[in-house]
Amino acid sequence: MTRSLGLVVLVLTLGIGGYLFSQQAKTEGPTSTTFQQDESQAVVAGAATSFQAAAPTLEAYYAANGTYVGAALPPSYGVSVVRADASSFCLQSADGQAHEVGPNGTPSAGPC
């Protein structure tokens, strides 16, 4: 009788522990909203340095040609010109997780 009761208590304890773990993982794990927002902000902040490095090259191209059409960046910048027209451009990070519409734009999450 006591062995059966011990087994029931053990199973019940494991069930409660599993439930509590799954509830905590929703608010603190890698799939939580807070974690995903923090990760997105970190990606945008990292890409912002690449965008800032590319901006002078694009501005020099604009000063020489009067348009951003045809502008390209070397791969060493880690960003690419996805869209360029007469007065604006869109830079996208190599992994496609951040972009900036310029000139004088602010980095944002997601592709162009």
Can you give the pLDDT at residue 30? 67
Q: Please indicate, yes or no, if residue 14 is contained in any of the structural domains.
A: no
Can you give the pLDDT at residue 22? 74
Q: Please indicate, yes or no, if residue 76 is contained in any of the structural domains.
A: yes
Domain, as residue range, for 82 = 47-109
- Residue 102: enclosing H or E segment and its boundaries? strand 98-102
Q: Is the pTM of this model over 0.75?
A: no
Q: Please indicate, yes or no, if residue 31 is contained in any of the structural domains.
A: no
The most confident of 21-30, 32-41, 76-85, by mean pLDDT: 76-85
Q: Mean per-residue pLDDT for 48-53?
A: 89
**Cβ-contact 99, 82 below 8 angstroms:** yes
pLDDT band, residue 91 (cuts 50/70/90): very high
Q: Please indicate, yes or no, if residue 64 is contained in any of the structural domains.
A: yes
Q: Please indicate, yes or no, if residue 81 is contained in any of the structural domains.
A: yes
Q: Please indicate, yes or no, if residue 60 is contained in any of the structural domains.
A: yes
Cα–Cα distances in angstroms (integers) from residue 102 to residues 6, 22, 31, 76, in the given order? 67, 43, 32, 20
Rounded CA gap, 60 and 3, in Å? 81
Structural domains of the chain, count: 1
